[in-house]
Amino acid sequence: MLKKHLIEQSAIFVTLFKWMVLSSFIGILVGAIVTLFLKVIQYGEEFQGELPFPHYFLLPVTLVLVLWMVRTFAPSAQGHGTEKVIEAVHKNHGKIDVKVVPVKLVATVLTILSGGSVGKEGPAGQIGAASASFVSDLLKFSDRDRKKVVICGISAGFSAVFGTPIAGAIFGVEVLIIGVILYDVLLPSFIAGFAAFTTAQFLGIDYTYFDYHYYQPMVLNIPLILEVILAGLFFGFVSDLMITAMQWIERGVERIRLNIYLKSFLIGLALVGIALIFGEQYLGLGMETIKDTLNPDPYFARDLPWYAFLLKTLTTSLTLSGGGSGGVITPIFFVGATSGHALGEWLDPERITLFTALGFIGVLSGATNTPIAATIMAVELFGLEIAHYAAISAVISFLATGHRSIFPSQILAMKKSEILEVKIGEEIEKIEVDLPRRDFTRLQRLRRRFLRKKRSLKKR
């Protein structure tokens, strides 16, 4: 008995040591690469002001260039990054072409700096995953170990960009399968995330945090809880709207019978037109607008229209459909923060900043199906005072969004309602949702009864 116990403990110790070393190395490597990525964007933004014309005038040409570059050198780098990583983990044991790293980096930088409405988190996750895949190929890892190393790369990439090592690590694990967290990758993901975050900080990356403890009274009360529940439902609706709009616009662009590069150029012109009419804040990363909505001083967001989240959804959909390279997480933050700000103005003007923060994490939770990561992110970004409200809003938004996702390759492992018939274990884009036959028949009976009563009342 003692011998078996010693063998078990020794095996666990060896496994722990192996993954602590591997995940630390992956985290440092990814942290350094992501730092380079972020620094290039930072320097590029400083150069934008030196152009003799608005930087977004470059969009039509840049979209064409990026589309050609990705299609020519690394087709798997197309789109918003995270989706391709999820697909690789589920379908190819995490194997990703190393060419994705330089191509995705350059393509995303060009897209963002020319005004494309995309984010940097998805590309960072894909760059991290591709780097980890390359390391596992060099060391000739098994398919199982490569998959785990790649997940560490995802978590490291997100942690280095988010500035939230715990939420980034959880996001990298939670985003793969809806309703399941892979516990065997949890420790390596945490270590890789923390190593990447620490490396990025050491190399000069600064992160922005907000603490409600200093200016927002957070006394628990029933009316506020009811408002938060309503907010969660609203953010679920916004998440659903964003997912649906992006899918419709992508399919609509695909149906247009024009040369693919001509379509890309025309979409770039459309984005320039939107910027000229509504303002350039709906292009690029949009971080300044996000910071303004989260500022407790209402002066900073005084000119923000209520429909800002709709315009951001439109510009992001057009950028990606036009061949732009970048992520969707930063646009999700923008959509969440601005929709939360609009809701706060209508629902509770004294707590606009709170509802802005809840929108920031609520739409993330609903659109990506990651309520745990979103809740932890709220604590890391906004402080412990917001934790209970963030949890309520994030989970309700996650459920209210339904069986949909901004990442169609996510695997569904749970039903969001016991009333529905949903086949689990498949990619969410293939999921068909229906009512059980008995419930459908009951609804049909109620409908016919209602129509009969309506007709009888008209006869009277």
Q: What residue ranges define each of the domains in the chain, with the CATH number in brackets? A: 2-202 (1.10.3080.10), 212-411 (1.10.3080.10)
pLDDT at 436: 66
- Which secondary-structure segment (H or E) carries 434? strand 433-434
Q: pLDDT tens across 265-322, in order? A: 999 999 999 999 999 999 999 999 999 999 888 778 888 999 999 999 999 999 999 9
Q: Comparing 407 with 79, which gets the higher pLDDT?
A: 407
Structure tokens at 58: 């470059």
Cβ atoms of 362 and 231 within 8 Å: the answer is yes
pLDDT surpassing 50 at residue 30: yes
Mean pLDDT over 420-429 rounds to: 81
pLDDT at 339: 97
pLDDT at 445: 65
pLDDT at 214: 45
Q: pLDDT tens across 345-397, in order? A: 999 888 899 999 999 999 999 999 999 999 999 999 888 888 889 999 999 99
Q: pLDDT tens across 322-340, in order? A: 999 888 999 999 999 999 9
The reported pTM is 0.90
pLDDT at 408: 87
412 has which bridge partners? 178
Which of the four pLDDT bands, split at 50, 70 and 90, describes residue 83? confident
pLDDT at 248: 94
